Structure 1
Amino acid sequence: MATAAEEQRAVILRGEDNVAVAARPIPKGYVIAVGGREVEVREPIALGHKVALSAIEPGQPVRKYGQIIGFASKPIAAGAWIHVHNVTAELFERDYAYASEQAPPLPTMEPRTFQGFLRPDGRVGTRNYLAVISTVNCSASTSRYIAERFRGDAWRKDYPNVDGVFAVTHKGGCAIPFGGPDHNTLERVLAGFANHPNVAAYVIVGLGCEVSYAQHLVEAQDLVTLGGVRKSGRQVEPVRPRVLNIQEQGGINKTVEAAVAAVYQLLPEANEWVRTEQPASKISLAMECGGSDGNSGVTANPALGVAADLIVAQGGTAILGETPEIYGAEHLLTRRAVSRVVGEKLVARIKWWEDYTRLFGAEINNNPSPGNKAGGLTTIYEKSLGALAKAGSTPLVDVVEYAERVDTPGLVFMDTPGYDPPCTTGLVAGGANVLVFTTGRGSVLGLKPTPCIKVATNTPIFDRMIDDMDLNAGTILEGESVESVGRRLFEMILDSASGTKTKSEQQGVGEEEFAPWHIGPTL
């Protein structure tokens, strides 16, 4: 008699699918029983890869999630391995049916709270950092030298409410058109980090002659710092940030000393912020998947979708990004849009990406990556459908630009690249105070100042990378329900928001991953 584990050798996601997904490696000759069908496997099927449940003729669609993920490029027999060698991603028409579908009722649950830092603008921080913000690559090393002066623990005993001092550095800031897309995007990102609810105060460090010069950033973004009421009840008026330019200060050493002194002046004020009980409606959740595999859309992403629905049910915000990685599945979001206008905003971004990739002689289906394909993802459509599972089931309430501040409760889509660092940089710049990152191949990303919870799609990667993974969604392949894992993830989000350190925070990860999206030419 087969054990439960043996019966769970493969899973079918929708009744109309003609493929099943391996929940664990399947040997040649094994007879799988899924969806009321029994099929003998013709060749070994690796974890996360697909097996045909019926014969598929050339040109016929291959279906997973009840949707088209590609078309057979050659005859495929029942029981055969389905992957890039016999499936192609052809263009096909999608019915956007704007705002045509009614979302299911939100989950009912009691109001929940977490311990956070209430800021003057009403947003709530889940961390309390000081930031050293570099306007240009020329001041990146200097900014890092400043932050490194606070790596030790000597200063912490006097400022226990401050989570740390970190540097925001990057490779851009010059050789770009002033006022052009890259200049505007970079300033929006830097302002998003400076004004982030997880940042109590900051200093800005520039070279002095760059395109993205510091004073313009301050004036254009109307940056202020350290306003609000402290635990003492003392009202602190907002002030203009401290700006230091290396050329004006007289070089690197003098700039470092001046900036370190400025940080020490800010620390007492930053330390006066304390955690207080805050409603879960103040959670702004960023959702990302990277190093994905064939089970990402089966386990971790649907579980994150459950958690996102719970956040939205509490009155909070869930932000989805990765425009090239919803390609081919965007029609499922446009149907859930609250209005035709919102749905059309999403389709406009899809069309922009088609033109953008065509301009450089590329195609969006250059994605999945080699690692994704090794994990069982065959086409961009399959990857997109799995990625979209993170969005749960609530209505799409808005579509925003890259790094644009997100203030609207509910499910929001942000236009970002699919590449993890620039995507998460944009999401965090938009104000996300918690980040959940799902991975099947194993990603170690973190991004200060926002805590990053990493969710493994399968038990082998969770066990192998136990020091980096926060939650194992692979238990879904072993019989636990998606709903159960999603609710456990929701509780982990609240715990992290209250100050529990994630694995990436424990390892100090989160500064090198800051990577603003670079759109245009370098001059």
Structure 2
Amino acid sequence: MPEFIRLHAQDHVAIATAPLDVGAVLEIDGRPIELASPIPSGHKFAIREILAGSPVLKYGQPIGIARHPIAVGCHVHTHNVRDHHTVAETIASTNPPADPPPLRRSFLGYHRPDGRIGTRNYVAVLSTVNCSATVCHKIVARFDAERLKRWPNVDGVFAASHTTGCALQYDGRKHQMIARTMAGYANHPNVGGRLMIGLGCEQNTPAYLGQHHGVVPLYAADGERLTRDDAVPTLTMQSEGGSQATIARGERMLEQVLDAANQSTRSTADASALCLAVECGGSDGYSGITANPAIGVVSDRVVACGGTSIISETTELYGAEHLLCDRSRSPEVAQKLIDLLHWWQQYVSYYGGELDNNPSVGNKAGGLSTITEKSLGAVSKSGSTALEAVYDYAQRVTAKGLTVMDTPGFDPASVTGKVAGGANLVMFSTGRGSCFGCKPSPVIKVASNSDLFQRMRDDMDLNAGQAIDGKSIEQLGDEFFEFALRVASGEKTASERNGFGDHEFVPWTVGPTL
């Protein structure tokens, strides 16, 4: 394993692949460089003199500007680099790449009536409002692993509850966002059955969901068989006579829902039905070098199969948006991304923040210095294909190819939006370590370095740290794609084996609580 990596011939920095001691002498381009300070693994050190106020290059791109002169061999990090990025106002032209050669692959999935294909077969209990959240969880708690053996074709039952649903402007932005998210989960291809629970006096009523978002409530008399496949069995606590009556009846209704969902079995499906959500969380200095580029190869393979890939975390595209804009199918697509970034700048400034506040304490400890540096690594999850469309949060994604969804950088909220948009598979890179899971879509976790892969072996699926040892990103990406196909066909991920995903339904909403 090399002691350091230089990513581009023009770069001012190299990245340590192991802790390096002060005074260590490294040879770069035939000349010795003596380190002026200790360099932690994943961190940067200067291989060229950098003048104060001048750009600092990594990936062949500026990641910020030097706060003061940086001598060769010095640690390059937050103490001497600051972000200095400006988002373009308009996009006049784009340069989309040619489509990748077609690829034909298949997996074993669940064929749904609307033509979409699921990679899992879950039953969801959905709360229209926080006031019914506890009832939803109590109903789900009655269906433990032992009881669920009665329905062997069902992967499990989960509650999708949240913190809002009332005290919001009717049909305002916040209302639309939570309703879109709920509708996306209710109608998700990985959900073979659903039950909806409301209080009865909320703004986010079942009737609103039916009128605006295609979630048709079905109010059945007690004991009546649930026979309409196009409707969602619905209970309201006020009409049922309170919490205990709702829980008891909900349990009876959920048995019927499970009976119906259990009729679904896996059969061969074309890989064009895959909708891949790509995510990174707990990133470090290796994420943009190993795990994210390897996930980008998987994204390219899914697109080549005729499927869809969704990258999000708009705040973590800031500083790298020009790369996606240049690849956009049209200037209109690129302009929508630019407009979102301008909105985010205004949004965070209203609360006294700025987008460069995004890199977390853990990100910085892992070697990332600015949001631009983080974004340049994060955007590599998108691969190399043309950007076809940009979607609002939790909006149903219908385009094939690479897409962007507007989400925050907070992983649970970001993945929730993409799953609501239809993602039936998630690939999640991490450098610091993450134990994230998300029902109903399986989450494949990719470690950016071998140390993490071994240290958190129970939570990691794939080791992108092999790229540091010499395996090519292309080879890793192809191996990861094969693993993704096996997961789509039913192989369990680490988070599924650990039983994670019941508490990661975290819808993002914008607007006041009234």
Determine the C-alpha separation between the residues in 2 that align with 1:448 and 1:36: 52
**Per-residue Cα deviation, 1:161-211 (whole angstroms, up to 9, x for no partner):** 111111001111122111111111000000000000000111100111112
Offset from partner CA, 1:318-356 (integer Å, 9 cap, x none):
000000100011011110001111111111111111111
Structure 1: distance between partners of 2:370 and 2:474: 27
| Within-5 A mapping of 1:150-229 | 150-156=143-149, 158-224=150-216
Shift of 1:124: 0.3
Q: For 1:48-197, what aligned pairs fall within 5 Å after superposition?
A: 48-92=42-86, 99-103=93-97, 106=100, 109=103, 111-156=104-149, 158-197=150-189
Q: Is residue 2:495 matched to residue 1:521? A: no
* Contact residue 129 and residue 198 of structure 1 kept, 8 A: yes
- 8 Å Cα contact 1:15/1:35 also seen in 2: no
C-alpha change, 1:96 and 1:475, in structure 2 (3 Å) is farther
- Match of 1:46, SS state, is coil
Match of 1:505 in 2: 496
**Partner of 1:31 in structure 2?**
25
1:109-162 deviations in Å (ceiling 9; x for gaps): 5x1110000111111000001100011111111100011111232332x32111
Provide the identity percentage. Answer: 49
* d(CA) in 2 for partners of 1:389, 1:270: 38
- Name the SS of the counterpart of 1:133 in structure 2: strand
Aligned length: 506
2:337–2:390 CA contact under 8 A, matched in 1? yes
User: Structure 1 residue 238: deviation in Å?
Assistant: 3.0
Change (3 A) 1:95 1:421: same
More off after superposition, 91-100 vs 331-340: 91-100
- Of 343, 352, 358, which aligns to 2:343? 352
> Which of 465, 469, 475 in structure 2 is aligned with 1:474?
465
Aligned amino acid, residue 370 of structure 1 = V
Q: CA deviation at 1:92?
A: 3.9
Q: Quote how far apart the aligned CAs of 1:97 are.
A: 5.9
CA distance in 2, matches of 1:45, 1:431: 43
Q: Describe the shift of the 1:38–1:298 C-alpha distance in structure 2 as closer, same or farther (beyond 3 A).
A: farther
Q: CA deviation at 1:478?
A: 1.2
- Is the alpha carbon distance of 1:173 and 1:70 closer, same or farther for their aligned partners in structure 2, counting shifts above 3 Å? same
AA matched with 1:423: S
| Alignment deviations for residues 352-392 of structure 1 (CA, whole Å, 9 cap, x no partner) | 11111112111111110111001000000000100001000
Give secondary structure in 1 for the equivalent of 2:231.
coil
Q: Which deviates the most, 242-251 or 290-299?
A: 242-251
**Structure 2 portions without partners, runs of 5+:** 219-226
Q: Contact (CA 8 Å) 1:182, 1:518: kept in 2 or not?
A: yes
Could you tell me which residue of structure 1 aligns to residue 331 of structure 2? 340
Q: Show the 5 A alignment for 1:364-403.
A: 364-403=355-394
What TM-score comes out, normalization by structure 2 length? 0.95
CA shift, 1:10, in A, is 0.8
Structure 2 distance, partners of 1:267, 1:520, is 36
The Cα of 1:91 is off from its aligned counterpart by 3.5
In structure 2, how many angstroms separate the alpha carbons of the residues matched to 1:99 and 1:23? 39
Q: Secondary structure at the match of 1:303?
A: helix
Q: Which residue in the other structure is 1:311 paired with?
A: 302
Q: From 425, 448, 465, give the equivalent of 2:416.
A: 425
Contact 2:87–2:338 (CA<8 Å) still a contact in 1?
no
Q: Is 1:12–2:6 an aligned residue pair?
A: yes
Once the two structures are superposed, what CA deviation does each residue of 1:484-522 show, in whole Å capped at 9, x if it has no partner? 111111011101100011110111111211111021222
Q: Secondary structure at the match of 2:195?
A: strand
Does the aligned pair in 1 maintain the 2:207–2:217 contact within 8 Å? no
| Aligned mates of 2:44, 2:88 — CA distance in 1 | 24
Confirm or deny: 8 A CA contact 1:134 1:143 kept in the other structure: yes
Is the Cα–Cα contact under 8 Å of residues 12 and 34 in structure 1 kept in the other structure? no
Residue by residue over 1:276-335, the C-alpha shift from the partner in whole angstroms, topping out at 9 and shown as x without a partner, is: 111111110001001000111000000000110011011111000000100011011110
The alignment's TM-score, normalised by the length of structure 1, stands at 0.94
Mapped to 1, the partners of 2:18 and 2:186 lie a distance apart of 45
- Please give the alpha-carbon distance, in whole angstroms, between the structure 1 residues aligned to 2:59 and 2:29: 13
Q: Secondary structure of the residue that 1:188 maps to in structure 2? A: helix
User: Where does residue 229 of structure 1 map in the other structure?
Assistant: none
SS of equivalent to 1:153: helix
Matched AA of 1:9: E
Amino acid at match of 1:120: P
Bigger shift: residues 469-478 or 190-199: 469-478
